[in-house]
Every structure is written in C-alpha cells, then in structure tokens.
C-alpha cells in the first residue's frame, strides 16, 4: 500500500447511467469475517454492469485489504477509518488518495483523565495502531505497538483514534467539544467504543469527494449499511438502504430496509442495481421494503 495523490480529470463527462454504490463491510458484506460467495458474485456483477462500487468502512486501511481481495476488486475506491482515508484500487493494490489527520492529544488526554483504565489507540496508516495496552484480539486491524509512555500515542497527527472502555459513550458529547468527530462504534458491546477523527469527517464527506471525482450524478448514489457510522452516508445517498440486522434507529434513518446479512439482503440490493433478478428467493430471504418519508 502506497500513498499518492490521484484526481479525476475535470473534463470527464458527467455519468448518466453509472451508479455510485457505497457498501459498508461488517454487518453488511461480512459476518464474523466471512463474505458469502453470493455476495462476491453480486458485487462483481455490479462492477461488470458499469457501476462504481465503493467500500465505505470504519475499518483501517490494513483491515480492508482482505475485503478487496475477497471481492476480487481490481479497480475502484475504498473509504476507511470512517472517512479519514480514501484509497484507489489499482490492480488490487491500495494507493492512498486522501488521508486527513488531526492532533488527538487533548481529546485522548481528556478521555484518559475521565476513564483511567480506558484502552487508547492511534492509527498508523497502512500498518496498524499504537496503543497504550493491547486490545483484545479481533478489535483492531493490523499490528498493535504498545508505547512506553501514553503521550507518545499523540506525538504525531493521526487519521483515527479509538477509546475503548465500559460505558465510554457517555463521554461522546464532551469529547466532541475538542473539535473532533466522535462516532459511536459497534465493534463491541453498545456504548463501549468511540472513534475519533478530524472535524466534519464522515463516510459521507469522503463519498462526496469520490462522487465528484467520478462525475456521478447525485441522484445516482446508493448506500447500504447497518451501523451508526452509516447514518451520514444515508443522508448523503439518493437511495439509502439499511440492513435488516441494523439497530432500530439505523433502520428508521434509511429510506429502505433489505433482508439481514444472514438473508443476503445486500445481494438483493445489488441485483436490483445490476438488473439481475433472482430465479427463486433463498430460504429465509425477504424483499426490501421502502419506508414512508421521515416526518
């Protein structure tokens, strides 16, 4: 994975039929680290139909490499760390296009003062994280480097910081006063995880930059997800689809709800985009349903 600035030519004509399809990973494409064959086939069919598939995830860059490989994507873009990092897929390699860093010192110091035993991490782009103590296996992507002194965590600007502790969500509003974006994570038990990124960053802000580079019309944007960090991209997308397994507040924020991940809900959405019909529904599947407009 290398870092390079790439931009689309401003003379590229505005797409008239191509869709930009933003897909969350965990809980949408992947369940417990596994992406079903049907999902892989549906993603590839969407790309073959001329649409732009963009992976939009809270995972770090190093954590999305295996997703790109599993899906067989050789071109396109991925948005990582809740919008802080955007990378271009070039022959299955990830080349960083945008990386927005911020100074995490003051906000992490406040989190540590409030919860002294909190686990803290700062992202090292393309490698993993620096941590004050090891996180349980499976919670962070990439290598964990335990620092000797906690202030070393914020010695340099970072793309993303993490605070993990019981009931840490209660600090969310206060930490937002430190000019950062605070996102409630769903990696562990509800309320145990906060992601911190630069101010005004989200999957939606990164997706809008990608949309403009690809010259896709705003009305041709689609987003599918299941978590709180997907709410901004639901507001951004012309067609917002929540997975059936999403929390109630996430489902209510979308204009449409598809089947759960075990029902291959994202497959039905992708097939509707690519113009492919199922010959027969799989066991337990249900069609997506459009919700009434939010009042």
Query: What are the boundaries of each domain within the chain?
Result: 2-99+201-290, 105-197
Q: How far apart are CA 19 and CA 245, in angstroms?
A: 25
Most confident range (mean pLDDT) of 8-17, 84-93, 286-295 is: 84-93
Question: What are the residues facing 290 on neighbouring strands?
Answer: 256
Residue-wise pLDDT tens digits, 109-156: 999 999 999 999 999 999 999 999 999 998 999 999 999 899 999 999
Helices and strands (H and E) in the chain: how many:
8, 16
Q: How confident is the model at residue 251 (pLDDT cuts 50, 70, 90)?
A: very high
Q: Which residues touch 90 (CB under 8 Å, ≥6 apart)? A: 75
- Looking at 2.60.130.10, 3.40.309.10, 3.30.1240.10, 3.40.50.2000, the CATH number of the domain 105-197 comes to 3.30.1240.10
Q: How confident is the model at residue 34 (pLDDT cuts 50, 70, 90)?
A: very high
- Rounded to 5°, the CA angle 83-244-189 comes to 65
CB 251 within 8 A of CB 241: no
Q: pLDDT higher for 26 or 278?
A: 26
Specify the CATH number of the domain 2-99+201-290.
Answer: 3.40.50.1000
Whether 86 has a pLDDT exceeding 70, the answer reads yes
Nearest Cα residue to 43 out of 33, 58, 55: 55
SS (H, E, C) 128-194: EEEECCCCCCCCCCCEEEECCCHHHHHCCCECCEEEECCCHHHHHHHHHHHCCEEEECCCCCCCCEE
What percent of the chain has a predicted confidence (pLDDT) above 70? 86
Query: What mean pLDDT value characterizes the chain?
Result: 88
Nearest Cα residue to 21 out of 180, 287, 211, 197: 211
Whether 245 has a pLDDT exceeding 50, the answer reads yes
Q: How confident is the model at residue 275 (pLDDT cuts 50, 70, 90)?
A: confident
Q: What mean pLDDT is predicted for residues 269-291? A: 59
Check residue 214 and give its pLDDT.
95
Residue-wise pLDDT tens digits, 147-180: 989 999 999 999 999 999 998 989 999 999 999 9
Q: pLDDT higher for 231 or 287?
A: 231
Q: How far apart are CA 193 and CA 185, in angstroms?
A: 5
């Amino acid at each position: 994975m290398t870092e390079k600035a790439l931009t689309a030519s401003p003379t590229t004509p505005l797409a008239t039929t191509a869709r930009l399809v933003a897909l969350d990973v965990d809980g949408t494409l992947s369940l417990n680290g596994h992406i079903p064959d049907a999902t892989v086939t549906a993603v590839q069919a969407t790309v073959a139909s001329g649409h732009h598939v963009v992976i939009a995830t809270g995972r770090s860059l190093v954590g999305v490499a295996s997703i790109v490989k599993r899906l067989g994507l050789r071109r396109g873009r991925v948005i990582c760390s809740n919008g802080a990092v955007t990378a271009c897929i070039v022959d299955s390699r990830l080349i960083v296009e945008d990386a927005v860093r911020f100074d995490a010192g003051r906000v992490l110091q406040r989190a540590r003062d409030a919860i002294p035993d909190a686990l803290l991490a700062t992202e090292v782009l393309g490698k993993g994280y620096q941590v004050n103590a090891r996180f349980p296996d499976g919670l962070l992507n990439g290598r964990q480097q335990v620092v000797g002194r906690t202030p070393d965590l914020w010695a340099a600007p970072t793309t993303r910081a993490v605070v993990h502790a019981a009931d840490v969500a209660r600090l969310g509003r206060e930490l937002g006063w430190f000019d950062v974006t605070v996102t409630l994570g769903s990696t562990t038990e509800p309320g145990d995880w906060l992601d911190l990124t630069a101010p005004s960053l989200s999957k939606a802000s990164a997706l809008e930059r990608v949309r403009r580079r690809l010259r896709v019309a705003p009305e041709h944007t689609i987003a599918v997800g299941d978590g709180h960090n997907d709410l901004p991209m639901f507001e951004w997308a012309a067609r917002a689809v929540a997975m059936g397994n999403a929390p109630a507040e996430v489902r209510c924020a979308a204009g449409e709800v598809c089947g759960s991940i075990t029902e291959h809900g994202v497959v039905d959405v992708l097939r509707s985009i690519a113009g492919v019909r199922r010959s027969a529904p799989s066991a337990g599947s249900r069609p997506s349903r459009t919700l009434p407009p939010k009042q």
